[in-house]
Structure 1
């Protein structure tokens, strides 16, 4: 259902996210060794604790927007046609990419639809990049426009020119991975490194199980566990499965699980066909806000989740304070439910 990564490839029109977990140091981190530092909210209780977390994340998102980093990134993203394409064209592109990458789960395909940065040959040239020789294009449908003359309904006896769509033609576009040249603007989110307390993953697994979802670890088609790109984890509302790539480290699995559990906790997987296309930005903001609270609660200091979550939430919400507040409120309620069930003090 969702995917998150270290490069800031946010799914959808707002940004580009190709995975959920950022890298970790070479020394290898394990959930079996709890961090020494206590939760920064250890002295707060219940509602006060959640409100403090929400305030921290909201401030970090605001700081990111004010810094100009997010604006520059979103400006670059607007050059990507995916932000303006119809849902049908987005799906057409995603199906072609999924076929190339061996993605078969509907949730993976929906997720991949949002990560695609596809433009025409000339558009890439304007961005300082060239399509690599030998690459096969993706094809979408472009409208054939023509002008007609018709009677002006507002001026009797007069005519007017009107442009109409007279059918569609196949238009060739290429994904960013098929090009080379000037760097593509990346999301301001930075790599996540850190370790969560022992028992976090088990508590999250129990939580999703109580909602009727089973937890699985398996190799996911299209996932690159070395560079941490592709679909690293997803939730299937139809099969009631939460899947994390088995090749990730324990810490990376816990981070992926926290985000995916957020989708379940916030009700995004209720029913057989969630409206991903219309509400994906809000869903991703809520799920990552939930993940942020889990990581803060379980021993990650502010410098770590603040390097990832604010960028992720800001990208999906476009920095809209109202959207951020709504996401935090819903995520806060879901997080409180988890805390109560897990018995976290």
Structure 2
């Protein structure tokens, strides 16, 4: 979300510049942290008694200071005990949300959000913690038996999700109202737990800023939603060190995408700018700064996260460094993480639900 040179207060740096700057800063911090860990290890080794040597003269008790720690993967849980299932689910969801403030966990969740965008945040987390390798889940009778003519593999374990319990309340004037009265624990199963006719494979479109072509419908469908919101889309070759894309609000209301980069990268930039518009960031442009009370980091996390999920929906596979700047972004505040994740999830669901719906594709 940027301001051009013609806008009041412009120009403003844009999403592409922000992501590049964050990646550079994150890399520099990682180098410093690794150097610090090495120095600490060396100092500790010098201060400690010399370890006993093995037969070949090496020191078996000394860890390699330069070896980075193994990435922490989300634990796999089970809710087999129905007597404690409600409490167990609530506790595990709270823990999962608290752990979303790292780049690895956030991007892993977004991967699930892309595959299960029609599910709520809590159900995405529940699927992720029970079956990290899940690709497409559904209820046994309505989805697998009836819709896809597939059968359950013997011995398969259910994935427990939560479904709203809705009752119809009749009024004196004869009208009815649907009222949420609680939640039900519902079993679903992954496609790998079933046998039968195969489901189609999703497209895979590797890309970089310089290479890669997005499916044409990605551009088309995003532009439809952008123009429906009252904006126009322009594609021009912006300066080499300029933004990848930017959005002007009043009076022109247009999204400008640089043609300097690959077709796929242009589609991702378009998704990023549409996310800013859709999530109401343009109406809050006065909050788009890094000073006290500024919401620029949160807005960028939201827009880039939505763009990532949209890209995955169309088969685009961005590199692993796309969210390197998220580490520490929420400062350990689980409430902030949950609010942002909820907003991202709702935006993804609203945007993707307007795309033409085909038969669900299942990752191999």
Tell me, yes or no, whether TM beats 0.5.
Answer: no
- Please indicate the TM-score interval, normalised by the length of the shorter structure: 0.3 to 0.5
TM-score, normalised on structure 2?
0.41
